[in-house]
Structure 1
């Protein structure tokens, strides 16, 4: 896929997921989440070349100042990410975001360690991250899952689950299915 097809795909993702969007032109002109994503795509390509890492960080910082979205150039972002109302988004260096992800304002994909290892989350395909959600550390959020508004996720979220609360508790989206409640961490009474 060439860069123009990718950028067009980003526009369509935003228009298809936001009922307030009236046209692709409007999305291209005023959607800060789309602008931040496009800027990240450029900065990430530069980040792959060690001699361009400084300029990549400068692009990232300028984008943060203009859009309120802070995506480290080292983060890996999949196709068709839609950042709705981008303000307050933070995505760390080793974060990985899959395809067809919906991210609302105030989401943090952050670290919990200072070591130079994989210290940020991996978000699967078709995941929704609610307003103010914090996903911290090298956790994995499985495909087709949803993280509720203001949830704090510090443990893996199985595929097809909903995680809510502080700390977040995961429940299956599928009727009759069970999700490991991690009794060592969560009071089973909270799961009823």
Structure 2
């Protein structure tokens, strides 16, 4: 699969980071997410509709990571809007910590997933720094499962800090943390 668009960033291991038409490649992306995040077919079907809806929002954009023509990672996000479902869920938690102002002027990382066979190679780091480097907003926010994990370690290394913890999403079995960072993200 060749990604449409302009500049492609070649990565070690011949992984290419570039623009991704996520609506056209939603099934490939969700296959990566299913393996990386342990999703079943019913969850994938629900997320498919969510992704397709998100990609119609103003400013939504996606990047993909390909190796040998196969999608091995992806990220997408958009300028945050307080009217979006995610914002309405996290707002009370952020407000309780004095951080609800982060919902304004932020680029939200909606999803970032890398196939387990390609993790720990800098692919996630390349995806998140590349997408946020083009953001017009002065900061970025995201949510991640609230456990010490490689993902949370990556986010911290980029400058993300916890804004709220133990955030409960209606259908999620585990609590999340909301994290925020000024842009551009910190480099090593």
TM-score, structure 2 as length reference: 0.31
- Identify, as 1 or 2, the structure richer in helix: 2
> Which structure: larger Rg?
1
TM-score, structure 1 as length reference: 0.31
Higher relative contact order (CA 8 A, sep 6+): 2
